[in-house]
Amino acid sequence: MEKPTYHHGDLPLQAQQLALDTLRADGDAAISLRALAKQLGVSAPALYRHFSDRNALLAELAISGFEALRNRLRAVDQQVPRKALINIGLVYVTFAQEEPNLYRLMFGGRVLPMGTHPRLDAAGKGAFQVLEDTVARARQLGYLKPSPVSLMTAAAWSLVHGLSQLTIDGHLPSEKAEPTLTEGVLSLLLDGSRSNPQQLQQDITL
């Protein structure tokens, strides 16, 4: 006798949570819609009504990841430009350290290349926008050099992404092992971008 179709309204959320647990433990390769359906006690077609394929489910996980990252970035105090820029970087790297497999899925491009899932692309841009706005504000206040905001943001993003990837891949010490490493590297870039280096020491003490 065929298994009854599952109609519970929380099925998509339950599937996403179970998939996230699997991702955290074993990586995205371990995620299968059929395996998730079996674990949830529903038929595979029940899940396929909510997710057209495996990558559609993975895209939802990545979207949730970008939304969580954006919320953390937006919570950074913007009062002092130097602190805001460094703390934005610290939040970014910490997120990657806490969610390494989710971070890899969000930024890897292997499974979810740009242009394939518009909502995912928009979520990624939303998180990036917080960094760009922070850089733009620091530049507007005269803290950073009058270089193009897009260029400075790309440099900042490249640095924090590189730090994140190197850390979660085991090439750099984690925050627990070396708590000042990330802040020190961020400071090197930031202080080289200062608008007025003569004020550097004063700003560092703020």
Chain segment 116-147, per-residue pLDDT in tens? 999 999 999 999 999 999 999 999 998 888 89
pLDDT given at position 180: 85
At 150 the three-state DSSP class reads helix
Q: How far is CA 22 from the centre of its chain?
A: 18
Q: pLDDT band for position 194 (50/70/90)?
A: low
Average pLDDT over residues 172-178: 76
How many whole angstroms separate alpha carbon 206 and alpha carbon 191? 14
| 202 CB-near residues (< 8 Å, 6+ apart) | none
Q: pLDDT band for position 110 (50/70/90)?
A: confident
Chain segment 58-83, per-residue pLDDT in tens? 999 999 999 999 999 999 999 999 99
**Residue 101 pLDDT more than 80?**
yes
Instruction: State pTM to two decimals.
Output: 0.86
pLDDT given at position 2: 42
The label of the residue with tokens 């969000």 reads: 106
How many whole angstroms separate alpha carbon 64 and alpha carbon 59? 9
